[in-house]
Amino acid sequence: MCEKNDKIKVGNIVVSLKGHDTGRRYLVVCETDENFVLVCDGEYRKLDNPKQKRKKHLKFDSESPIECNDALNDSILRKLLKK
Amino acid sequence: MITTKTPSEIIKMRDAGAVVRDTLLMIEEYIKPGVTTKELDMKIEEFIRKAGAVPSFKNYNGFPASSCISIDEVVVHGIPSDRELKSGEIVSVDVGAILKGFHGDAARTFEVGEVDEDKRKLIEVTKQSFFEGIRQARDGRRLGDIGHAIQEYCESRGYGVVREMAGHGIGRHMHEDPIIPNYGVAGMGVPIKKGYTLAIEPMITLGNPAIRINRYDGWTCSTADGKPSAHYENTILITGDEPEILTL
């Protein structure tokens, strides 16, 4: 059974396309429903205060997924997003 | 996260792959005009359960059957029903099984009775594109190499490559990272490493690659222009050398 080629999913890096944060890179940390995800960048939006974004206002940016586990913190996230 | 399989996990993946392979070999004999897709699904479920495995598609995100049976213009995720197969159609059967906690996933497209030359060629190109793709599936290459090889092989022959659906990593879960599109740029994407198990599945259409998903069942995925489509899938293991096909 094939998978939907929908890359806005947990662990992927995305870029904001709409809003005051246009162009900012984020990590998707949670999928709240069919249309929304929670995103963080470790700087403007820390892991304990994620931002809700509509999926269609985001663009997939990197093909290297990041594991969202306990070891991930804001400082690591900032470094990962800078790459 | 992409998981690398340990030797003991690989043994289990081989066993799960063997069940899927045997199921597809068994069902080929039953593909005849007049048989309903529901009957085929029942045979598949019975066979998988007899082998001590569990059909992984059943109830997966609400999918109502043990296999996806897609006729002609249906690309993937066809739900088995009382529809009878007719001579001249092509039918793709996608099967998944869980054995000892690990998944196997494979699909084939079969001819029903006598089919015309265009459809026969479509099945052949789809199958060959898979082998062109896995030629790139080696330790050190990148996922874009696989997608590029499939896209290049099919589009140069005038066939369409479905973009909205893709292959996937496989292991303890049916759908694991990474997503493996059947198109791409050579040298781009995630590096492929030894120990990855991937399900590579080209979905090729005779016409335009655009698809639409049935809004009533949420599953059936058909070509937008109504032209036939074929599907070929195997679970492969990345080794130091040629990839090992676990479901063939």
Domain total for chain B? 1
- The answer to whether residue B1 is domain-embedded is no
pLDDT at residue number A68: 66
pLDDT band at A83 (very low <50, low <70, confident <90, very high): low
What does DSSP assign to residue A48?
T
Q: Within a 10 A sphere around the Cβ of B150, how many other Cβ atoms?
A: 31
Task: Kindly state whether A61 is in contact with chain B, defined as any CB-CB distance less than 8 angstroms.
Answer: no
Task: Kindly report, residue by residue over B89-104, the tens digit of the pLDDT.
Answer: 999 999 999 999 999 9
Cβ contacts below 8 Å, chain A against chain B, sum to 52
Length of chain B: 248
SS3 of residue A52 by DSSP: strand
Identify the burial level of A82 via C-beta atoms within 10 angstroms of its C-beta, where 0-12 means exposed, 13-18 middle and 19 or more buried: exposed
pLDDT at residue number A4: 78
Mean pLDDT for chain B? 91
Q: Do A65 and B163 touch (CB under 8 A)?
A: no
| Facing A1 at nearest CB: one of B174, B179, B188 | B174
**Alpha-carbon span B170 to B9, nearest angstrom:** 12
Give the pLDDT mean for A56-83. Answer: 78
Chain B residues within an 8 Å CB radius of A29: none
Task: Kindly report, residue by residue over A12-63, the tens digit of the pLDDT.
Answer: 889 999 999 999 999 998 888 888 999 999 999 999 999 999 999 998 876 5
Q: Is the pLDDT of residue B84 over 80?
A: yes
Task: Kindly state whether B173 is in contact with chain A, defined as any CB-CB distance less than 8 angstroms.
Answer: no
Task: Kindly state whether B2 is in contact with chain A, defined as any CB-CB distance less than 8 angstroms.
Answer: yes
Nearest in space to B76 (alpha carbons), one of B89, B92, B60, B65:
B92
Closest-CA distance of chain A to residue B7, Å: 23
What CATH number corresponds to the domain at position B197?
Answer: 3.90.230.10
pLDDT band at A67 (very low <50, low <70, confident <90, very high): low
Domain ranges of chain A: 1-64
Tokens of A82: 């800078």
pLDDT at residue number A69: 67
Task: Kindly state whether B168 is in contact with chain A, defined as any CB-CB distance less than 8 angstroms.
Answer: yes
The 3-class SS string of chain B reads CCCCCCHHHHHHHHHHHHHHHHHHHHHHCCCCCCCEHHHHHHHHHHHHHHCCCEECCCCHHHCCCCEEEEECCEEECCCCCCCECCCCCEEEEEEEEEECCEEEEEEEEEECCCCCHHHHHHHHHHHHHHHHHHCCCCCCCEHHHHHHHHHHHHHCCCCEECCCEEEEECCCCCCEEEEECCCCCCCCCCECCCCCEEEECCEEECCCCCEEECCCCCCCEEECCCCCEEECEEEEECCCCCCEECCC
Which residue is it, tokens 């066993």? B15
Contacts of B206 (CB under 8 A, 6+ apart): B118, B119, B122, B159, B160, B227, B228, B229
ipTM of the prediction: 0.73
Task: Kindly report, residue by residue over B152-196, the tens digit of the pLDDT.
Answer: 999 999 999 988 889 999 999 999 888 888 988 888 778 898 999
pLDDT at residue number B1: 77
Percent of chain B with pLDDT over 90: 75
Closest-CA distance of chain A to residue B2, Å: 8
What is the C-alpha radius of gyration for chain B, rounded to an integer number of angstroms? 17
| CATH domain A1-64 topology | SH3 type barrels. (2.30.30)
Domain that holds residue B95: 7-245
- The answer to whether residue B214 is domain-embedded is yes
Strands of the B221-223 sheet, one edge to the other: B74-76, B221-223, B211-213
Please tell me which residue of chain A has the smallest CA distance to B58: A1
Q: Do A5 and B166 touch (CB under 8 A)?
A: yes
**Alpha-carbon span B158 to A36, nearest angstrom:** 38
Please tell me which residue of chain A has the smallest CA distance to B182: A5
- The answer to whether residue B2 is domain-embedded is no
